[in-house]
Amino acid sequence: MAHPTQLGFQDAASPVMEELLHFHDHALMIVFLISTLVLYIIIAMVSTKLTNKYILDSQEIEIVWTILPAVILVLIALPSLRILYLMDEINDPHLTIKAMGHQWYWSYEYTDYENLGFDSYMTPTQDLTPGQFRLLETDHRMVIPMESPIRVLVSAEDVLHSWAVPSLGVKMDAVPGRLNQTAFIASRPGVFYGQCSEICGANHSFMPIVVEAVPLEYFENWSSLMLEDA
């Protein structure tokens, strides 16, 4: 959960998000080094009155400033491609959930169960209990077992939406007439918040996503109760 004045990312709750955080720090350090070098060169060129004839026409320095950026790009591209392929890996999911975007709420269907599905609307401000977050809490949470591969099939019924949960490193467009899929593993129990990340109309800001990761036995109890109520 993000907090006021936070500058960085939310704490990672999945292995993929941890990899994304590490890659972000890796790329940011490269940007800092380049910025420092360029700033030093600018200050040196502006402040000094001396001229070095070997720098005015030097094959060696031209070779360096041609090869060095290429090496830096490779150092950024390789880990980036690795994470890109990791994000597309879906190996033997233990649970499949279909998330449908509507104007302006989400509906979830647990496809491994015969009759387990529900709509998830934002909780109005006047109905919030102490400790709940305004514009982020829903009347029904998407409950999942922790430390289990979860596949989410994402689509929409009317306009473009986007199913995004930053702590889990998940963001997938919901396109009418198209079924997209993504996967994640919640590495710890907790409640993780997200929002629709595609402008979808007047109430775009009011269709939050709440994912609750619980131990497997709690998930089994929850699913049994939901099936009994259905």
For the chain, give the mean pLDDT: 91
Same domain for 136 and 218? yes
Residues 28-56 have pLDDT tens digits of: 999 999 999 999 989 988 888 777 776 66
CB 187 within 8 A of CB 197: no
Residue 155 near residue 106, CB atoms below 8 Å = no
Domain at 29, CATH number: 1.10.287.90
Evaluate the omega torsion of the peptide bond into residue 104 and state whether it is cis, within 30 degrees of 0. yes
CA angle 227, 156, 96 (to 5 degrees): 40
Same domain, 75 and 134: no
Is residue 84 domain-shared with residue 100, that is, in the same domain? Answer: no
Reported confidence tier of residue 83, pLDDT bands at 50, 70, 90: very high
Lowest mean pLDDT among 11-25, 53-67, 121-135, 143-157: 53-67
Q: 220 lies in which domain range?
A: 95-229
pTM, two decimals, is: 0.85
Mean pLDDT, to the nearest integer, of 111-140? 92
Q: Are 66 and 106 part of one and the same domain?
A: no
The pLDDT value given to residue 79: 94
Give buried/exposed letters for 11-32 (b at 16+ CB in 10 A, else e).
Answer: ebbbebbebbbeeeeeeeeeee
Considering only CA atoms, which of 142, 160, 152, 179 is closest in space to residue 101?
160
Cα–Cα dist 27/79, whole Å: 10
Pair 123, 201 in one domain: yes
Same domain, 32 and 61: yes
